[in-house]
Amino acid sequence: MLEKLQIVKNRFDEVSDLIIQPEIISDQKQYIQLNKEYKDLRALMDKREQYLLATERVSEAEEILADGSDDEMVEMAKLQMDEAKGKIEKLEEEIKFMLIPKDPEDSKNAVVEVRAGTGGDEASIFAGDLHRMYTKYCENKGWKVSVVDFSEGTSGGYKEIQFEVEGDDVYGTLKYEAGVHRVQRVPQTETQGRVHTSAATVMVFPEAEEFDVEIDPKDVRIDYFCSSGPGGQSVNTTYSAVRLTHEPTGLVAQCQDQKSQHKNKEKAFKVLRSRLFDLELAKKQAEDAEKRGSMVTSGDRSAKIRTYNYPQGRVTDHRINLTLYDLGNIIDGDIQKIIDELQLVSNTEKLKEAGETF
């Protein structure tokens, strides 16, 4: 472990030197990448310090035990050694997971899209519930959420809603939410009190930087239109809303949230870049999942991943057979415990794949 941590320290020293070089600072792409690497390595350096301190305490205790002249000191040394060894064991586990190579996209911001599926008006209401759940979760983490585009349901909620999330390691956290979410409950519109099953699809794209995806302007058709609100009535009379169509792929991105046409166009291009980037990423995730036999981040957008059962107050994540009887808090944004379990399974798979190299 100490040899492995020394290699990490050598790289940390190298990166620390590189990020202050003028030629690196002037290369935005390289500077951003190195800054992200520096941040990850800094966290490992903190663990390394703790690990070295614990090993020093074991050595000190061993010296006292070898001397054995003072019974009281020997007793204290035994306690110190047990405590330090316990800490070393815990730190080794933490460091192993931290040494797993991170997906480069994990540190990116994300674009999230929630779309109503089967279930008519109830599916739109459920899509609205999911949007609220993610908004509360993101706000609790100190992330910034901003709506890009939406289409409201006739009885509340959304037929679809798209929003950006900015913060630390956003995509690496929210990517586990991609897939089909089902709800089982008595809809507001149901008069007989019968439980219905409805669904909504959640898509999570890593927000692509300009240098991640180059878009040829000739490939994009730009349409301008008036922003619309409930019932399709015009909110304003200026053509501020923007729709982009990437003709080679048929992908569409639009934004009507901002009053300024320029800002809407900027946001729509950001979403279009992210969609194009995600096309390639989905292929890679599907290949990786096939190799590992993983269902946690498979790239399969049609997979049913989670059920929210209201009569039983139950939430079940089907990928890892996790069931929690805490639906009220979960739908209110407390989804960290589910994400933690999914990340643990994913990291364990990666650790097995990498082999026991520590």
Q: How many helices (H) and strands (E) does the chain have?
A: 9, 11
Q: Are residues 131 and 43 in the same domain?
A: no
Among 65, 98, 131, residue at a domain's last position: 98
Q: Are residues 335 and 216 in the same domain?
A: yes
**Predicted pLDDT at 224:** 87
Report the sign of the C-alpha dihedral through residues 101, 104, 110, 116, in that order: negative
**Predicted pLDDT at 30:** 85
Q: Are residues 40 and 150 in the same domain?
A: no
Q: Are residues 223 and 299 in the same domain?
A: yes
CA distance 202 to 181: 7
Q: Are residues 141 and 42 in the same domain?
A: no
**Predicted pLDDT at 82:** 92
Please report whether residue 357 resides in a domain.
no
**Residue 77: CATH number of its domain:** 1.20.58
Q: Are residues 131 and 90 in the same domain?
A: no
Which of 282, 280, 288 lies closest to 349, judged by CA? 288
Report in angstroms the alpha-carbon separations of 181 from 27, 232, 306.
42, 27, 5
Predicted structure pTM score: 0.71
Q: Are residues 48 and 148 in the same domain?
A: no
Please report whether residue 129 resides in a domain.
yes
Q: Which residues contact 270 (CB under 8 A, 6 or more apart)?
A: 111, 164, 207, 208
**Predicted pLDDT at 293:** 57
Give buried/exposed letters for 44-74 (b at 16+ CB in 10 A, else e). Answer: bbebbeebeebbebbeebeebeeeeeeeeee
Indicate the DSSP class of residue 118.
Answer: S
Please report whether residue 354 resides in a domain.
no
**Predicted pLDDT at 14:** 93
Domain count, the chain: 2
CA distance 35 to 347: 23
Which parts of the chain register pLDDT below 50? 230-235, 356-358
Indicate the DSSP class of residue 153.
Answer: -
Q: Are residues 25 and 168 in the same domain?
A: no
**Predicted pLDDT at 234:** 45
Give buried/exposed letters for 315-336 (b at 16+ CB in 10 A, else e). Answer: bbbbbeeeebeebeebbebbbe
Q: Are residues 125 and 148 in the same domain?
A: yes
Cα atoms in the 13 Å half-sphere on the side-chain side of 94: 14
Please report whether residue 356 resides in a domain.
no
**Residue 324: CATH number of its domain:** 3.30.70.1660
Quote the domain boundaries for residue 199: 110-349
Please report whether residue 14 resides in a domain.
yes
Q: Are residues 325 and 191 in the same domain?
A: yes
Please report whether residue 358 resides in a domain.
no
Contact (CB, 8 A) for 115 and 204:
no
Cα atoms in the 13 Å half-sphere on the side-chain side of 323: 6
Among 98, 119, 149, residue at a domain's last position: 98
Among 43, 68, 98, residue at a domain's last position: 98
Q: Are residues 85 and 124 in the same domain?
A: no
**Predicted pLDDT at 190:** 73
CA distance 272 to 288: 24
Q: Are residues 142 and 234 in the same domain?
A: yes
Please report whether residue 28 resides in a domain.
yes
**Predicted pLDDT at 298:** 52
Which of 84, 106, 83 lies closest to 207, judged by CA? 106
